[in-house]
Each structure stands twice: as structure tokens, then as C-alpha cells.
Amino acid sequence: MSIVGIIANPSAGKDIRRLVSESRFISNQEKINIIKRVISALIEMGIEKILMMPDYGHLTKESIKEFDNPNLFDFLSMPVFNSEIDTTRAAKIMEDMGAKAVVTLGGDGTNRAVALGSSNLPLMPISTGTNNAFPITIEGTLAGICAAIVAKELVDHDICAPKCKRLNIYIEGELADVALVDVAVSSKRFVGSRAIWDTSSVSDLYLAKASPETIGLSSIGGFINPLQETDDFGIHLELDVQAKRKVMAPVIPGKLEIIGVNKFKKIEFNQPLVVSGKQCTLALDGERSIPLKENESATIHIDRCGPPVISPQNTLQLAASKGIFIKDY
């Protein structure tokens, strides 16, 4: 049976950064409309079961009302806490239930939570968040088509859904969390509102990818020396407001910041990077997540053990070249 999951984050694109920047706001109704288009494409492509994560915004529940085949949908039996725990748990359940792909609606944080739950489910990440260095700006219909093609194994996964890089954070030898784009060391002592936008509080950046075409902390690296998802290494930046070397980058929408950079160096896969000796928080993919006390330390290393990420361009082009969309009537 061909099964695809849908995980939609009702909180994505609504955090505190809208008070300090010109970040876009994506309404729940727009997310519902995107999900409807995804579902329509999945149905037309012959997907037999669609797994839905329940959410406090009722995005998935509202999105299926106009479809007259209720047996197609299966809502996960799970509590809703209105936190990233929901997303992580849903990804794990979907993998256990046999999903072969999952469509996500959210930003970097949403997809990080999915990756924490499953590193095997191919992701079709639709950008609806604040910092969207990881997800893709794509129309819902095309996203649904791509997810269905990968789920039905109609194309080569190595070409159309390669594994992405992942930053692993270990505390006392145990995996504490992961990031898909960046880990920032912030002098802020508390997690607080989580979202990070004040670069003066950031001393170090560890990057899995860095593109000048994106917004967020990773753009700092992207505007110095772009780092591709296909590169088998990462980058470590040491930031300092007093540094003589400066770079201009769009850390938040609508604003270019001048940031001092002391060091810029390559990180090899599985090279241990220790953060210790200071009270700080680790921000994962733009959100403060892990507080560290002065006597605590964390070890970060990068690998290519993240989830497979669907490439719409490769998937659609390969599927078209194989005649998948040609039917005789």
C-alpha cells in the first residue's frame, strides 16, 4: 500500500520575529488551502492512504472536509501538546505505520522536529515558516506529486531524495538533539521566546548548509562562502562584534546586518566540536533549545545521516522522462 503522511505546524510563521522584523505571516487558512492542493495531487497520483497529524489549529481536519473518501485518511492516535513534541512523535508514528514520504508545512524548526523523530522518512518540506533555509518554496500541487512519486518508488531515491546533512548535539555522551541547518552558541542564559535574531549575542555558528539565497543565521556563512547540501563538510564561524572583518547578511527579513567574523573554517564529518566553559544556550535552526551551565559542555558533530529530502526538480524531470505522466484514455 502506498502511504504518505502530512505534518502541518499551525505555529510556523507566527513567532516573535514578526515584532522585530518584516517577516511574513502565513494564516492557518492559507496552510489549509496548501494542504488541500497536496491532497488532491496525492489522490490523482494514486496514493492509497494519507496519514494526518492532529494539530491544535485543526489544519488537517479542516483540509479534508471537501473530500468524499474518508477512508483515505487516517488521523494519528496521539495527544496534542501544541509543541514540537507533537511533530517528532508524529514522524515516528508515520514511519512505523509504513509511510514512504511525508509532506511538511513549516520552517526550519518544524523539519528539525521531524528529523528528530525519523531519519528515514523522505521529506517534501513546504516553506511556511520564518527562516526557511531548509524547506522549499513550492506550490502544494507539485509538492503532492513529488511526494507520491517518491512514495510509490517510481524514481531512484539516490537521485530524487538524497540524505541531507545533520548536526548532532551530544550532552554527556547522549544524543540530546539535532539540527539540519545551523547551531548557534548564544550568550543568552535562558531559552525564553526561543527565536534568535540578535547576532550580538552569538559567539559561534556551526553550519551544515549556508546559502546567500536564504534568510537567517546561516546566511552569514552564505554571504562569505556558500556551503551546499552536497558538500561533505560543514563550516564553523567565530563571531565577534569587535572583529575587523565584517560581512553583510540578512539575518531577519527586511534588514541587512553588519556582522564581525573572526574565524571561518571547515568542519569535517564526525569531527567533534566541544562547546564548554561558559553559560550559554544552543540555538538549533534559529531557535534557542539547549541551556548550558558553566560546568556543562556539549559536543557537536556533522554527518550525512539526516532524513532524505525530495528534490522537486530531479523528481519531476526524471518522472517526466520516464513517461510516468502519460496515460492512454
User: pLDDT tens across 26-83, in order?
Assistant: 889 999 999 999 999 999 999 999 999 999 999 999 999 999 988 999 999 999 998 9
Q: How many domains does the chain have?
A: 2
Residue 192: per-residue pLDDT: 60
As a whole-number percent, the residues of the chain with pLDDT over 70 amount to 95
Q: Do residues 141 and 203 share a domain?
A: no
CATH of the domain at 281: 2.60.200.30
pLDDT tops 80 at residue 16 = no
Q: Do 172 and 30 share a domain, yes or no?
A: no
Question: Is 125 within the bounds of a domain?
Answer: yes
* Whether residue 133 is found in the same domain as residue 212: no
Answer whether residue 255 shows pLDDT above 90.
no
pLDDT value for 132: 81
Q: Residue 19: its pLDDT value, please?
A: 45
Verify that 133 and 175 share a domain, yes or no.
no
Instruction: Determine the angle formed by the axes of helices 84-96 and 108-117, rounding to 10 degrees.
Output: 40
In this structure, the answer to whether residues 10 and 116 fall within a common structural domain is: yes
188 shares a domain with 103: no
pLDDT by residue (tens digit) across 294-312? 889 999 999 999 999 999 9
The pLDDT mean for the chain works out to: 93
Do 213 and 273 fall into the same domain? yes
Identify whether 227 is part of a domain. Answer: yes
pLDDT attached to residue 13:
59
Same domain, 209 and 251: yes
Q: What CATH number should be reported for the domain holding residue 143?
A: 3.40.50.10330
Q: Say yes or no: 196 and 279 in one domain.
A: yes
Residue 193: count of CB within 10 angstroms of its CB: 13
At residue 24, does pLDDT exceed 60?
yes
What share of the chain has pLDDT > 90, as a percent? Answer: 81
Q: How far apart are CA 168 and CA 306, in angstroms?
A: 10
How is residue 158 written as a grid cell?
539516490
Q: Is residue 328 part of a domain?
A: no
237 & 315 share domain? no
| Domain span including residue 45 | 3-164+307-321
- Which of 155, 34, 110, 56 minimizes the C-alpha distance to 307? 110
Residues 173 and 151 in one domain: no
Whether 18 shows a pLDDT value over 60: the answer reads no
pLDDT tens readout for residues 135-177:
999 999 999 999 999 999 999 999 999 999 999 999 989 999 9
Q: How confident is the model at residue 91 (pLDDT cuts 50, 70, 90)?
A: very high
User: Band of the pLDDT at 23, cuts 50, 70, 90?
Assistant: low
Residue 329 lies in a domain: no
Q: How confident is the model at residue 14 (pLDDT cuts 50, 70, 90)?
A: low
Smallest Cα–Cα separation from 114: which of 162, 61, 73, 53?
A: 53
276 & 313 share domain: no
Between residues 192 and 76, the one the model is more confident about: 76
Quick one: average pLDDT of 171-198?
86
Question: Would you give the distance in Å from CA 247 to the centre of its chain?
Answer: 25
